[in-house]
Amino acid sequence: MMEQYQIIRIKTHEGLTRFANSTIHQNVVKDETESAVLYVVDKKKAVLDSTGTEPDLKVAREIALNSEVNPDFVSLPDADEAGQPEFKGSFSKDAAQASPEVRARLVKEILALCTDKGLQAAGYLTTGSRERNIENSLGVKREDRTSFSELGITATGAGTGYATATHYDLDHIDVKEIAREAVETALQNVNQDTIEPGKYRVLLEPLAVHELFDFMAWLGFSGRLYDENQSCFSGMLNKEITSPLLTFTDEPIQELPGFGIDIEGVARRRTLLVEKGIFKNVTYDSYSAHMVNKKSTGNAFSFVVPWGGLPLSINVAAGKTDIADMLHEIKKGLLIKRFWYTRPVDRKSGILTGMTRDGTFLVTDGKIDRPVKNLRFQISLPEILKKIRMVGNTLRLYESGRFPHLLVDDFAITGMTG
Amino acid sequence: MDARLKLALDAVPKGVRYADIRLVEWEREDIYIKDGKVETVTRTLDSGIGVRCISRGAWGFAATSDSSKDAIGAAVHSAVDVARASSIAKIKDVELSDKEAASGVYAVEVKKDPFKVSVDEKINYLLQCDKQLRAVKGVSISECWIQSWLERKCYADTEGSDTEQNFTGIQCGVRASALNDNDLQARTYPSFRGQGAHGGYELVEELGLLGHCERVGEEAVMLLNAPECPKETTDLVFTPAVLGIFIHETVGHPTELDRVFGTEANYAGTSHLVPEKLNTFRFGSDLVTLVADATVPHGLGSFWYDDEGVPAQRTELVKDGIFVGYLTSRETAKVLNQRSSGTMRAQRWCHIPLIRMTNINLEPRQGTFDDVMSTTDGYLFDGFKSCSIDDRRLNFNLAADIAWRVKNGKKLHVIKNPVVSGISYEFWRNVDFVGGKESWALYGLLNCGKGRPGQIMKVGHGAPPIRIRNVTLGV
């Protein structure tokens, strides 16, 4: 009888302070200890999630025995497949132990910066830490920890502006700079004009790029979806899928919260996804990798997801162009700060719709002309990635990676807010 | 009262103006089958205590998964410390609207306890469904699932409330996907992530998943070869399965009073339904009456008391087309000199309660599905695929799984990727048919997202079929 199991223990301390209308309206602290076991008996799989550090292996085994054989299951990762982590989760005591008072004082500073400009502020500041302890019956034993801090600010007056930053270390969140950025956009984003639907050349700021890449990671780079012909890039490995200006990897990024191992204990590594436009690799967890005689790429993030391993932090290579030069290339087009409520309308074709939010500007003859109302877009991700004309030379860190500005042609605007 | 609640209440320091304690215990079982193989069986056991308080006029909240006396005491004191920290950046003291103390023990009526139906029996049933889906030529991916849960929620507060509510629930569904190199089309029954409801395993049996598998598979395959959605102005009929999501996005979220007051401005957004529009703004046609009803049997948005100990209620949001009400909490209702409409809920013990939809329902009027079909020259939308809407809940884009061209009561042919967009209230104003009681159906969703840290919530949406005139179809 073949039996294998894996245990993961997670300990979280999280504090989050939310503010709006220039006051703190929500302030929470959580301490949680949880564990999960994946138990496999003769290819019958079960997961037991529970509160506390010691999962009940007997119960997990019993559930597995009552399940059915899954012939696709080969094995949990062994020590060889798990590899030696080259990256250790980034950790800062300041972020891990920041008190509610520390957060409240920073928030007070933010509120003052916004009210000084006649604006209201809404947002959140979160800090905390997470520890992972993983072991499996094949000898993999790993532990890691990370800390996190993230700030988001919406400045609101006659218009709105948004800015956000994330880092493992609270000291690296420049509260004043983030507030300044949100305020500046809010002050510019007034008396919004309307524009006609159509295809525009657009300069996407890194926050907007971040959202498109999040969807691309899911729709395009899951090894399992790729192998099942469900990816919008299925069949395109080693072919050109984006502009040759684009190169990006999935890899741990030192400045971001994160672990050196995935949830199966497999070492996170650098996986080249696209090199100068050529599709190089997809990402796997062990289950989906073994189905096609491959090894995990260290991208497992859940025991039970129908799309397998996904890129966990994307690192886009900086381009050569600065923002002013990118703007200069726009005769009549748009500057888009961020997207909102982006959704796939057609997964296989990679067609997305969504709205712009908190700052969309008409650009005329290379200069920011005037703000426009929030716009609805509908684009084909594979098509738009091929229409990238320039990649910015500065990168911004967000939750799921590091992203540049992109100058893109034929970005389809289909409507606008009321 | 549960001993742990009492421990927590006893630990609340003197001078704390208000505190409430929630003890929540979950047991959940998820069975998911893909392409005839059990991907896994997952059992989740989750428990902990959340403490919310007002001290120095500001909110604090702390939660712990440790149920020891020391940990509970520490959580109470942590919540108080958090509140005192919040007061550093307060403008005015938090004020709550009045309520009566709540009490009692309550439980969802269950005919067949889902945890007493063996995993084996559930898997066998799903495997039969899966086989039926894959028996349809052209089906590439088959998926079937059953989720069962039991949630025990105990609540007490410093105003004398002491309640225990026990929720048993089910969510299940089947999905067929047809795939070629350029396209993927899927159909799901009963709704896009299945059907969720409070009740026992009898709900799975009543839904009869197996009996729908062949149709679901055939429609997925049919979609693969169907023409694309045209771009035109036309009339649409929405089935309740599509309409539920539309109600969710265009009625439920914009009537959450915390959004209206700006506390979600940084994340989920605000709302165009500002208080100045109350009782005057024409939101829909005369046929449109929408309610928040937390008392509907089996509804996923049904309960006895919300997470502030306020009784479940039925509240009108839109009456005969006019916007008349909000989903409120004790704090937000006070601003409008009202009492809470009882909509505060938290996903888990470690989450703070937020204003959440209950069951947001379109009230039935008159007429059958056949009535509306026989008088429509347009399209019938069924099965929700995706919805996107702006941060004030005005510009929406709704995609359905499938649409049929309909005329004279007949389905002429299928179109794929049906999508409709517009401004939410203009859409509701163009409603000229709302079906009767016999065509009304309630759907349950498990995953309404809101707040930071992010929470998902169980909500319900009931509606009959409707017709909307002069709609922009396609992109």
ipTM: 0.95
The verdict on A415 touching B (C-beta cutoff 8 Å) is: yes
State residue A229's pLDDT score. 96
pLDDT tens-digit readout, B303-342: 999 999 999 999 999 999 999 999 999 999 999 999 999 9
Residues of A in contact with B392 (CB under 8 A): 417
Nearest CA in chain B to A56: B45
Greatest Cα pair distance, chain A, in angstroms, is 72
Residues of A in contact with B260 (CB under 8 A): none
The verdict on A23 touching B (C-beta cutoff 8 Å) is: yes
- Gyration radius of chain A's alpha carbons: 23
Domain A3-187: give its CATH architecture: 2-Layer Sandwich (3.30)
Residues B31, B115 contacting (CB under 8 angstroms): no
Average pLDDT score over residue span A268-286: 98
pLDDT tens-digit readout, B331-375: 999 999 999 999 999 999 999 999 999 999 999 999 999 999 999
The verdict on A346 touching B (C-beta cutoff 8 Å) is: yes
Q: Could you check whether the bond before residue B453 is cis, i.e. omega within 30 degrees of 0?
A: yes
Whole-number Å distance between alpha carbons of B416 and B412:
14
Residues A300, A264 contacting (CB under 8 angstroms): yes
At residue B294, what are phi and psi to the nearest 5 degrees?
Answer: -90, 15
Q: Is pLDDT of A303 > 90? A: no
State residue A307's pLDDT score. 86
At residue A128, what are phi and psi to the nearest 5 degrees?
Answer: 160, -165
Give A116's pLDDT tier (boundaries 50, 70, 90). very high
State residue A222's pLDDT score. 97
At residue B223, what are phi and psi to the nearest 5 degrees?
Answer: -65, -35
Which residue, among B256, B395, B396, B429, would best test binding to A if mutated, counting the most A CBs under 10 Å from its CB?
Answer: B395
pLDDT tens-digit readout, B96-118: 999 999 999 999 999 999 999 99
Give per-residue burial for A271-284: e unless 16+ CB within 10 Å, then b. bebbeebbbbbbbb
Q: How far is A321 from chain B (nearest CA, A)?
A: 31
pLDDT tens-digit readout, B408-450: 999 999 999 999 999 999 999 999 999 999 999 999 999 999 9
Structure tokens at A73: 């299951």
Helices (H) and strands (E) in chain A, counts: 10, 19
Residues of A in contact with B119 (CB under 8 A): 63, 66-67
Q: Is pLDDT of A289 > 90? A: yes
Break chain A into its structural domains and give their ranges. 3-187, 191-418
State residue A304's pLDDT score. 76
Residues of B in contact with A51 (CB under 8 A): 45-48, 65
The verdict on A42 touching B (C-beta cutoff 8 Å) is: no
CB contact under 8 A, B43 and A46: yes
Whole-number Å distance between alpha carbons of A291 and A224:
9
Residues of A in contact with B181 (CB under 8 A): 229, 234-235
The verdict on A67 touching B (C-beta cutoff 8 Å) is: yes
Nearest CA in chain B to A308: B39
Interface of A with B in 168-227 (CB under 8 A): none
CB contact under 8 A, A29 and B37: no
State residue A362's pLDDT score. 98
Q: How far is B452 from chain A (nearest CA, A)?
A: 8
Q: Across-strand partners of B153?
A: B24, B165
Structure tokens at A225: 């979806």
Q: Across-strand partners of A149?
A: A127, A167
The verdict on B276 touching A (C-beta cutoff 8 Å) is: no
Interface of B with A in 400-459 (CB under 8 A): 417, 419, 421, 423, 425-426, 452-453
End-to-end alpha carbon distance in chain A: 64
State residue A22's pLDDT score. 85
Cα B98 to the chain's mean position, in Å?
Answer: 27
Query: Strand order in B314-319's β-sheet?
Result: B322-323, B314-319, B290-293, B360-362
Residues B147, B28 contacting (CB under 8 angstroms): yes
pLDDT tens-digit readout, A374-418: 999 999 999 999 999 999 999 999 999 999 999 999 999 999 998
Q: How far is A20 from chain B (nearest CA, A)?
A: 5
Break chain B into its structural domains and give their ranges. 3-224, 232-473
The class that CATH gives domain B3-224 is alpha beta
Helices (H) and strands (E) in chain B, counts: 10, 23
Q: Is pLDDT of A213 > 90? A: yes
Q: How far is B354 from chain A (nearest CA, A)?
A: 10
End-to-end alpha carbon distance in chain B: 57
Kindly tell me the sign of the dihedral angle through the C-alpha atoms of B31, B37, B39, B42. Answer: positive
CA atoms within 13 A on the CB side of B214: 1
Interface of B with A in 166-185 (CB under 8 A): 177, 179, 181-184
pLDDT tens-digit readout, B395-410: 999 999 999 999 999 9
State which amino acid sits at residue B408. Answer: N
Structure tokens at B154: 């105990």
Which residue, among A37, A125, A341, A351, would best test binding to B if mutated, counting the most B CBs under 10 Å from its CB?
Answer: A341
Cα B329 to the chain's mean position, in Å?
Answer: 18
CB contact under 8 A, B395 and A376: yes
Q: At what angle do helices A100-115 and A175-188 cross, to 10 degrees?
A: 30
State residue B193's pLDDT score. 84
Average pLDDT score over residue span B197-207: 97
What is the 8-class DSSP label of residue A407?
E
- The minimal CB distance from B453 to the residues A16, A23, A228 is found for A16
The verdict on B328 touching A (C-beta cutoff 8 Å) is: no
Which residue, among B128, B248, B352, B390, would best test binding to A if mutated, counting the most A CBs under 10 Å from its CB?
Answer: B390
Whole-number Å distance between alpha carbons of B371 and A26:
50
The verdict on A124 touching B (C-beta cutoff 8 Å) is: yes
How many other C-beta atoms lie within 10 A of the C-beta of residue A328?
A: 15
Q: Is pLDDT of B120 > 90? A: yes
CB contact under 8 A, A104 and B63: no
Q: Is pLDDT of B457 > 80? A: yes
Structure tokens at A317: 């290579």
State residue B192's pLDDT score. 84
Residues B16, A280 contacting (CB under 8 angstroms): no
Q: Is pLDDT of A52 > 90? A: no
State residue A53's pLDDT score. 78
State residue B424's pLDDT score. 97
DSSP B432-469: EEE--GGG-EEEEEEEEEETTTTEEEEEEEEE--EEEE
Structure tokens at A252: 């741990």
Nearest CA in chain A to B60: A27
Average pLDDT score over residue span A149-177: 97
CB contact under 8 A, B41 and A46: yes
Percent of chain A clearing pLDDT 90 (strictly above): 97
Q: Across-strand partners of A346?
A: A351
Which parts of B86-161 are beta strand (E)? 103-107, 139-157
Average pLDDT score over residue span B115-127: 97
State residue A265's pLDDT score. 97
- Matching residue, tokens 């008409």: A362
Q: Is pLDDT of A305 > 90? A: no
